[in-house]
Structure 1
């Protein structure tokens, strides 16, 4: 069997899986792709500057030994409805491989670790192993595709004094993360939760459809 070797790692603002968006696409969330030494060859990126987006194939490195189940409880369905693992984006899979479409913001060729790719719209934990990069092309868009509408957003309440603790360039992304309800599948209203984001711990509670941030702690 062919052995898969990480070609790079991506550096993000998420130091644990709690709080990571369940889907890619929040544009303000940035990532830096740093290649492993055998793949630090600018020729491998020749022509990539002509594309706006790329597909990243990556490893759910925090779940790699966690096993899998034939069915899972997607958080976006409230955590109480089961779906087949292949009908979801759940991280607990027979092969722990994730896939994300991200936007290329910059390709850096002149630095110690070059080439480096700066991307936006990430949904990965810090230092996630990348196993392949492919350009996003026109035929990847399927206009006739169908899918269930399961998006449910929370109302986010955060006092100005707490929001001011968050760097200005991180505030919009944080609000969007909270709107998507970062709690695990099994959750109860009224419980206090916390997750790490961009060097801060975000503490919050949820009551029905309202999420209230109760503290922002710099760490």
Structure 2
């Protein structure tokens, strides 16, 4: 008989994604997304990360912390199937899972050690700000990168063109923003973060994406994403 196991975070992620809406559905689709993992007490030691920088990419094992109280179902509606067809949860990367665990491959930017406090700078993540990190492992290309059948998700998503209004461009040009801010906005919105069923019909709704401390307001016109304006929160 199997026993239960209790795990606790070894680190907490700081991410530009402040809400679940607009987070890329897979890692490395938005390489301009940069963040840091701060190791928790009991794990915050330079010895934990010795030689970590000899690897370029990392596996993160994490928890879908905002879904913990919402439960899960054996059938889900993946966006790749239009958001209407149901399929088994274990055949998807749904965030609503039996144990609420996920894994992502991210790029390691650098390890920062300051007075024995350790932060791990990463990029290309698809994770919400405040995500608990349960484990970190090096990505090994000869064993982890394999030829594989990818079911109903064989290709990367189609991208839309992204245009900025004069008001949005003025905001970017006249404010001190993260260096990768404009690139991140383009990479996120080009994937059209709307629900899958919304992407199949005309939609005149204005949407908002919360990145860093800013709200980006945008609409879809034809095949183009139009950034209407940007506001500091």
The answer to whether the Cα contact below 8 Å between 1:52 and 1:103 also exists between their aligned partners in 2 is yes
Q: Greater CA deviation, 80-89 or 131-140?
A: 80-89
Say whether residues 1:129 and 2:132 are aligned partners. Answer: yes
Match of 2:184 among 162, 169, 173: 173
Root mean square deviation, CA, Å: 1.8
Q: Does the 8 Å contact 2:58/2:136 carry over to 1?
A: yes
- 1:39 alignment partner, SS class: coil
Task: Kindly report which structure 2 residues correspond to 1:203-214, keeping only aligned pairs within 5 A, or say none.
Answer: 203-214=217-228
Among 207, 215, 221, the residue aligned to 1:193 = 207
CA distance in 2, matches of 1:161, 1:42: 45
Following superposition, the deviation at residue 130 of structure 1 comes to: 0.3
Q: Is residue 2:20 matched to residue 1:20?
A: no
Give the total of aligned pairs.
Answer: 217
2:161 alignment partner, one of 127, 131, 155: 155
Distance 1:218 1:86 in 2: 39
Given candidates 72, 80, 104, the residue that maps to 2:84 is: 80
CA 1:73–1:163 in 2, change beyond 3 Å: closer, same or farther? Answer: farther
Deviation of residue 38 (structure 1)? 0.6
Unpaired runs of 5+ residues, structure 1, are none
Conserved in 2, the CA contact under 8 Å of 1:107 and 1:116? yes
Q: Specify the alignment match of 2:148 in structure 1.
A: 145
Relative to structure 1, the CA distance from residue 37 to residue 51 in structure 2 (aligned partners, 3 Å threshold; closer, same or farther) is same
Q: Aligned pair in 2 of structure 1 residues 178, 105: CA closer, same or farther (>3 Å)? A: same
User: TM-score under structure 1 normalisation?
Assistant: 0.91
